[in-house]
Amino acid sequence: MFDVAVHITLLVLMPLPMLGLINRVKSIAAGRKGPPLLQPLYDVVKLLQKGAVYSRTTTWIFVAGPIVTLASAILAALIVPLASTTSPFGFPADVFVFAYLLGVGRFFTMAAALDTGSAFEGMGASREAAFAALAEPALFLALMIVCVPADSACFGDAFSAIPAAGGLLRHPGLLLAALALGVVLLAETSRIPVDDPNTHLELTMIHEVMVLDHSGPDFAFIQIGYALKFFALGAVLVHLVLPIPATGWMAPVLFVAGQAGVAITVGIIESVMARLRLSRVPQFLIGACVVAAVGVLVLFTGGRP
Amino acid sequence: MQGSALADPLSRILTVALVLTLLSVALFIIAGTLSALLGRLDRAALAVGTAGSLLACAVGLAGSVMALMDGGAETVASSWRLPIGAISMGIDPLSAFFCLCIFLVCGLGALFGAGYLRRGWLGRRRLAPALAFFNVLAASMVGVALARDGVLFLLAWEAMSLSSFFLVTFEGDRPETRRAGLVYLIASHLGLVPLIVLFVLLGGATGSFDFAAILAAGAPSALVATTCFLLALAGFGLKAGFWPLHAWLPEAHPAAPSHVSAVMSGVMIKLGIYGLLRTLTFLGEPPEWWGFVVIVVGIVSGVGGVLHALAQHDLKRLLAYHSVENIGIIALGVGLGIVGRANGNTTLSFLGFGGALLHVLNHGLFKGLLFQGAGSVAHATGTRDIDSLGGLLRRMPVTGTTFLVGSAAISGLPPFNGFVSELLIYVGAFVGAVELPASSALWTLAVVPALALIGGLASACFVKAFGVVFLGEPRTPAAAAAHEAGPSMRWAMLLGAGLCVLIGVVPLVALRLVEAPAFALSGAAALPEGVVDVLSAVAGIALALGVLVAVLAGLRWALLRGRDIRQAATWGCGYEAPTARMQYTAASFADPILAPSESIFDRHVHAEGLVGYFPVAASHRRHLGDMAADRVLAPGVDALLSVFRRIDFLQQGGVPRYLVWVLLTVVVLLVWQLGAF
What is the tens place of the pLDDT at every residue in B306-356?
999 998 889 999 999 999 999 999 999 999 999 999 999 999 999 999 999
The percentage of chain B sitting over the pLDDT mark of 70, rounded to a whole number, equals: 95
Contact between A144 and B556 using a beta-carbon 8 Å cutoff = no
Contact between B541 and A101 using a beta-carbon 8 Å cutoff = yes
What is the tens place of the pLDDT at every residue in A27-66?
999 999 999 999 999 999 999 999 999 999 999 999 999 9
Q: How far is B434 from chain A (nearest CA, A)?
A: 6
Distance, CA of B176 to CA of B181 (rounded, Å): 9
Q: Name the pairing type of β-strands B565-568 and A52-55.
A: parallel
What is the tens place of the pLDDT at every residue in A231-257?
999 999 999 998 888 888 899 999 999
Mean pLDDT of chain A: 92
Query: Which residues share a beta bridge with B607?
Result: B620
What is the tens place of the pLDDT at every residue in A134-183?
999 999 999 999 999 899 999 999 999 887 776 677 778 899 999 999 99
Distance, CA of B324 to CA of B367 (rounded, Å): 11
What is the tens place of the pLDDT at every residue in B192-226?
999 999 999 988 777 778 888 888 888 888 999 99
DSSP-derived secondary structure letter, A37? T
Distance, CA of B452 to CA of B430 (rounded, Å): 13
Residue A101's closest chain B neighbor by CA?
B414
Name the more confident of A303 and A98: A98
Distance, CA of A83 to CA of A171 (rounded, Å): 22
What is the tens place of the pLDDT at every residue in B250-294?
999 999 999 999 999 999 999 999 999 999 999 989 999 999 999
Residue B450's closest chain A neighbor by CA?
A137
Q: Reply yes or no on whether the pLDDT at B577 is more than 80.
A: no
What is the tens place of the pLDDT at every residue in B50-60?
999 999 999 99
Q: Name the pairing type of β-strands B85-87 and B80-82.
A: antiparallel
Please compute Rg for chain A using Cα positions: 19
Q: How far is A98 from chain B (nearest CA, A)?
A: 10
Helix (H), strand (E) at residue B499: helix B487-505
b (16+ CB within 10 A) / e for B613-631: eeeeeeeeeeebebbbbee
Mean pLDDT of chain B: 90
Nearest CA to A10 out of A169, A206, A235 is that of A235
Q: Which of A47, A60, A79, A136 to mutate to test the interface with B (most CBs of B within 10 A)?
A: A136
Contact between A117 and B571 using a beta-carbon 8 Å cutoff = no
3-state secondary structure of B127: coil
- Nearest by CB to A137, from B438, B449, B466: name it: B449
Q: How far is CA B578 from CA A53, A124, B570, B575, B581, in A?
A: 18, 18, 9, 7, 8
CB-CB neighbours of A2 under 10 Å: 8
Residue A299's closest chain B neighbor by CA?
B438
Domain ranges in chain B? 1-220+257-269
What is the tens place of the pLDDT at every residue in A113-135?
999 999 999 999 999 999 999 99
Q: How far is A281 from chain B (nearest CA, A)?
A: 10
What is the tens place of the pLDDT at every residue in B586-644?
988 998 888 877 777 777 778 887 888 888 888 877 777 788 888 888 888 899 899 98
Chain B environment of A151 (Cβ under 8 Å) = 434
Chain A environment of B413 (Cβ under 8 Å) = 100, 103-104, 107
How high is the pLDDT of residue B610? 80
Confidence (pTM): 0.94
Distance, CA of A96 to CA of A118 (rounded, Å): 33
What is the tens place of the pLDDT at every residue in B415-473?
999 999 999 999 999 999 999 998 899 999 999 999 999 999 999 999 999 999 999 99
What is the tens place of the pLDDT at every residue in B361-416?
999 999 999 999 999 999 999 999 999 999 999 999 999 999 999 999 999 999 99
What is the tens place of the pLDDT at every residue in B475-489?
999 999 999 999 999
Residue B560's closest chain A neighbor by CA?
A51
* B16, B63 contact by CB (below 8 A): yes
The percentage of chain B sitting over the pLDDT mark of 90, rounded to a whole number, equals: 70
DSSP-derived secondary structure letter, A30? T
Chain A environment of B429 (Cβ under 8 Å) = none
Predicted confidence band of residue B73 (pLDDT cuts 50, 70, 90): low
How high is the pLDDT of residue A123? 92
How high is the pLDDT of residue B6? 38
Q: Which of B424, B475, B570 to mutate to test the interface with A (most CBs of A within 10 A)?
A: B570
How many alpha carbons fall within 13 Å on the CB side of residue B440? Answer: 25
A and B: number of Cβ contacts within 8 A: 253
Residue B547's closest chain A neighbor by CA?
A71
Say how many residues make up chain B: 677
* A230, A259 contact by CB (below 8 A): no
* A130, B460 contact by CB (below 8 A): yes
- Nearest by CB to A107, from B413, B441, B593: name it: B413
Q: How far is A250 from chain B (nearest CA, A)?
A: 30
Distance, CA of B350 to CA of B145 (rounded, Å): 21
How many alpha carbons fall within 13 Å on the CB side of residue A163? Answer: 11
Q: Name the pairing type of β-strands B75-76 and B90-91.
A: antiparallel
Contact between A114 and B584 using a beta-carbon 8 Å cutoff = yes
Q: Which of B351, B413, B555, B567 to mutate to test the interface with A (most CBs of A within 10 A)?
A: B413
Q: Which of A45, A98, A104 to mutate to test the interface with B (most CBs of B within 10 A)?
A: A104
Check residue B530 and give left, alpha or beta (phi > 0: left; psi -120 to 50: alpha): left
Contact between A117 and B391 using a beta-carbon 8 Å cutoff = yes
Query: Which residues share a beta bridge with B567?
Result: A54
- Nearest by CB to A129, from B452, B460, B530: name it: B460
- Nearest by CB to A213, from B414, B570, B593: name it: B570
Degrees (nearest 5) of the Cα angle B196, B197, B199? 65
Distance, CA of B320 to CA of B362 (rounded, Å): 16
Contact between A151 and B434 using a beta-carbon 8 Å cutoff = yes
ipTM of the complex: 0.96
Q: Name the pairing type of β-strands B619-624 and B80-82.
A: unpaired
Q: How far is A234 from chain B (nearest CA, A)?
A: 20
Contact between B463 and A129 using a beta-carbon 8 Å cutoff = yes
Calculate the dihedral angle through the C-alpha atoms of A33, A36, A42, A44, rounding to the nearest 10 degrees.
80
